[in-house]
């Protein structure tokens, strides 16, 4: 008797777990490490620099809607691969920035890349490939990707200490390119049906064993009318405000209080363990 083959959806979850660690680590968490050295060299205030970061998050939120439509029509491979390429180029541009306007423009572009490579498109992939095991797949993805701050905040601090902030960003750009572009381009597929499978790898009705149970569909109009939807929106907004405030400002605050950058980076990186 042949052993069952590994369902390809789990291969994509493993690949996305790795790419999400790197994408979140470089595009989201590393920013706080660079605030102090960039401010010292360029003479920009924390408020001026975090304004660019806020702009990126705003752009990411707005462009998530067209990104979602693209995913529905074309699948994740093209979007996430292009997003990884763009993110790499923009991190390189960040390492060469000379003006505050350029800094804002770069981070607006990074916001576009965020919409293409962070959790939202990855969650769409999981929702497409899993139904019965969706919760398990999402838990695995978020657990592994949650280590991004643990890895990349201390790593970024070490790179800045060894090479300076500009060359540290170049190293991170290389890591971002190697750790995301090949996996997005080579592993991702549009849907189980596109390669002759069914969600969760369940037997199809054609096999005479059963079939995949159709899920109830909720239209955008119905979702907008649901109180539960708006309660979830409010909860996510409040949670993200608290998390982002801590993530972005903790390192500059601790350095300002006299702690070493290494201690501050370790403390901020530990957020991922919570």
Assign 3-class secondary structure to the chain.
CCCCCCCHHHHHHHHHHHHHHHHHHHHHHCHHHHHHHHHHHHCCCHHHHHHHHHHHHHHHHHHHHHHHHHHHHHCHHHHHHHHHHHHHHHHHHHHCCCCHHHHHHHHHHHHHHHHHHCHHHHHHHHHHHCCCCHHHHHHHHHHHHCCHHHHHHHHHHHHHHHHCHHHHHHHHHHHHHHHHHHHHHHHCCCCCHHHCCCHHHCCCHHHCCCCCCCCCCCCHHHHHCCHHHHHHHHHHHHHHHHHHHHHHHHHHHHHHCCCCHHHHHHHHHHHHHC
Residues 6+ apart with CB under 8 A from 213: 131
Instruction: Summarize pLDDT for 73-121 with one digit per residue, the tens.
Output: 999 999 999 999 999 999 999 999 999 999 999 999 999 999 999 999 9
The pLDDT assigned to 216 comes to 66
**For position 173, what pLDDT does the model report?**
98
Cα–Cα nearest to 54, from 251, 268, 240, 270: 240
Return the number of other C-beta atoms located less than 10 Å from residue 120's C-beta.
16
Q: In this predicted structure, what is the pLDDT of residue 211? A: 53
For residues 32 and 261, the answer to whether their CB atoms sit within 8 Å is no
What's the rounded Cα separation, in Å, for the pair 245 and 263?
19
Architecture, CATH, for domain 8-191+226-273: Up-down Bundle (1.20)
Res 1: pLDDT? 40
Give the number of other Cβ atoms within 10 Å of residue 194's Cβ. Answer: 10
* Residue 244, pLDDT score: 75
Res 261: pLDDT: 82
CA separation, residue 132 to residues 4, 17, 138, 145, 210 (Å)? 17, 20, 12, 22, 14
Block means of pLDDT (10 residues each) for the chain, length 274 residues?
A: 74 96 95 94 94 94 91 93 98 97 97 95 94 93 91 95 97 98 96 88 57 65 82 85 78 82 81 70
| Greatest Cα-to-Cα distance within the chain, rounded to the nearest angstrom | 69
Q: What pLDDT is attached to residue 215?
A: 66
Q: Which residues contact 62 (CB under 8 A, 6 or more apart)?
A: none
Q: Which pLDDT score is estimated for 208?
A: 46
What is the rounded CA–CA span in Å between residue 180 and residue 74?
A: 19
| Structure token digits, residue 164 | 């300076």
Q: What is the pLDDT of residue 2?
A: 45
Query: What residue spans define the domains of the chain?
Result: 8-191+226-273
């Amino acid at each position: 008797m042949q052993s069952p083959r590994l369902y390809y959806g789990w291969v994509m979850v493993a690949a996305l777990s790795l790419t999400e660690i790197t994408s979140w680590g470089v595009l989201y968490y590393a920013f706080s490490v660079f605030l102090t050295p960039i401010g010292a060299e360029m003479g920009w205030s924390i408020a001026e620099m975090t304004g660019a970061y806020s702009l990126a998050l705003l752009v990411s939120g707005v462009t998530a809607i067209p990104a979602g439509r693209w995913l529905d029509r074309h699948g994740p491979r093209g979007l996430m691969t292009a997003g990884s390429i763009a993110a790499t180029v923009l991190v390189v541009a960040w390492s060469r920035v000379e003006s505050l306007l350029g800094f804002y423009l770069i981070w607006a572009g990074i916001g576009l890349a965020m919409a293409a490579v962070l959790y939202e498109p990855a969650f769409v992939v999981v929702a497409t490939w899993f139904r019965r095991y969706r919760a398990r797949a999402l838990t695995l993805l978020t657990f592994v990707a949650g280590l991004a701050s643990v890895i990349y905040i201390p790593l970024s601090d070490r790179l800045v200490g060894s090479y300076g902030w500009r060359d540290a960003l170049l190293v991170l750009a290389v890591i971002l390119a190697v750790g995301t572009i090949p996996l997005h381009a080579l592993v991702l597929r549009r849907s189980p049906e596109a390669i002759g499978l069914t969600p969760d790898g369940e037997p199809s009705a054609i096999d005479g064993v059963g079939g995949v149970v159709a899920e109830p569909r909720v239209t955008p109009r119905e979702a907008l009318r649901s109180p539960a939807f708006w309660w979830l929106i409010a909860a996510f907004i409040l949670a993200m405000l608290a998390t982002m405030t801590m993530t972005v400002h903790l390192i500059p605050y601790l350095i300002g209080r006299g702690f070493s950058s290494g201690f501050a980076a370790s403390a901020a990186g530990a957020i991922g363990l919570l």
